[in-house]
Amino acid sequence: MVPGKKIRVLVVDDSLLARSMITKGLSAHPRIEVVGFAINTLDAKRKIPALTPDVVTMDVEMPGQNGIEFLKEYLPANPVP
């Protein structure tokens, strides 16, 4: 990590309350910048390349494809912590 550079985070969660709490908590840290959120894995697939986050937080239980399935499918070709 470059000194002084903020860590860019994308929050992925289907719950508005959870997204808000995670975003608020992460944003309180001076070295973290929440660059966006996704409401499900399909939304995350579009936003990860567009926002280029350093880190993605992922809800495990979501409608459709869950977070674990998404990570198994997406990460091998697109590594993001």
Q: Mean pLDDT of all residues in the chain?
A: 91
What domains appear along the chain, each with residue ranges and CATH number? Answer: 7-74 (3.40.50.2300)
pLDDT at site 35: 98
Average pLDDT on 29-33 reads 97
Distance CA 20, CA 24 (A): 6
Q: Greatest CA separation found in the chain?
A: 39
pLDDT category of residue 77 using cuts at 50, 70 and 90: confident
pTM listed for this prediction: 0.87
